[in-house]
Amino acid sequence: MQLKMKPISDIELDESMKVKELTTQMLASGGFTAKKLGVACDIVRKMFREKQCTIFLSFPACIISTGTRGVIRKLVEEKLVDVIVTTCGTLDHDLARVWKKYYHGEFLMDDVDLHRRGINRLGNILIPNDSYGIVLEQKMQPILRDIYSEGKKSLSSRQLAYEFGIRLNDKKSILYWAAKNDIPIYVPGITDGAFGSQLWLFKQQHSDFNIDILRDEQELSDIVFTAKKTGAIMIGGGISKHHVIWWNQFRGGMEYAVYLTTAEEWDGSLSGARIREAVSWGKVKEDAQYITVEGDATITLSMLVGSVLGESRPARH
Q: Is 225 in the site for its own copies (CB under 8 A)?
A: no
What does the CA dihedral 284, 287, 288, 290 come to, rounded to 10 degrees? 100
Q: Are 188 and 213 in contact (CB under 8 A)?
A: yes
What is the closest distance, in whole angstroms, from the C-beta atom of residue 85 to its own copies in the complex? 10
Count of CB atoms within 10 A of residue 1's CB? 3
- Which H helix or E strand runs over 205? helix 194-205
Q: Is 35 in the site for its own copies (CB under 8 A)?
A: yes
Q: Is 10 in the site for its own copies (CB under 8 A)?
A: yes
Q: Is 248 in the site for its own copies (CB under 8 A)?
A: no
Nearer to its own copies, 10 or 52 (CB): 10
Nearer to its own copies, 182 or 264 (CB): 264
What is the closest distance, in whole angstroms, from the C-beta atom of residue 54 to its own copies in the complex? 19
Amino acid in the structure at residue 70: G
Q: How far apart are CA 154 and CA 219, in angstroms?
A: 15
Q: Are 291 and 232 in contact (CB under 8 A)?
A: no
Considering only 49, 182, 281, 316, the residue that binds its own copies (CB under 8 A) is 281
Site for its own copies in 66-105 (CB under 8 A): 66-71, 73-74, 87, 89, 101-105
Site for its own copies in 132-171 (CB under 8 A): none
Q: Is 273 in the site for its own copies (CB under 8 A)?
A: yes
- Active-site position among 139, 241, 283, 285: 283
Q: Are 309 and 78 in contact (CB under 8 A)?
A: yes
What is the closest distance, in whole angstroms, from the C-beta atom of residue 202 to its own copies in the complex? 9
Nearer to its own copies, 141 or 317 (CB): 141
Q: Which among 15, 37, 11 is positioned nearest to 25, based on CA atoms?
A: 11
The neighbouring-strand residues paired with 290 are 257
The DSSP secondary structure of 243-307, one letter per residue, reads: HHHHHHGGGT-EEEEEEEE---STT--TTT--HHHHHHHTSEEEEEEEEEEES-HHHHHHHHHHH
CA atoms within 13 A on the CB side of 291: 20
Considering only 79, 114, 143, 229, the residue that binds its own copies (CB under 8 A) is 114
Nearer to its own copies, 55 or 85 (CB): 85
Site for its own copies in 173-192 (CB under 8 A): 188-192
Nearer to its own copies, 49 or 52 (CB): 49
Is 46 an annotated catalytic residue? no
Active site residues: 283
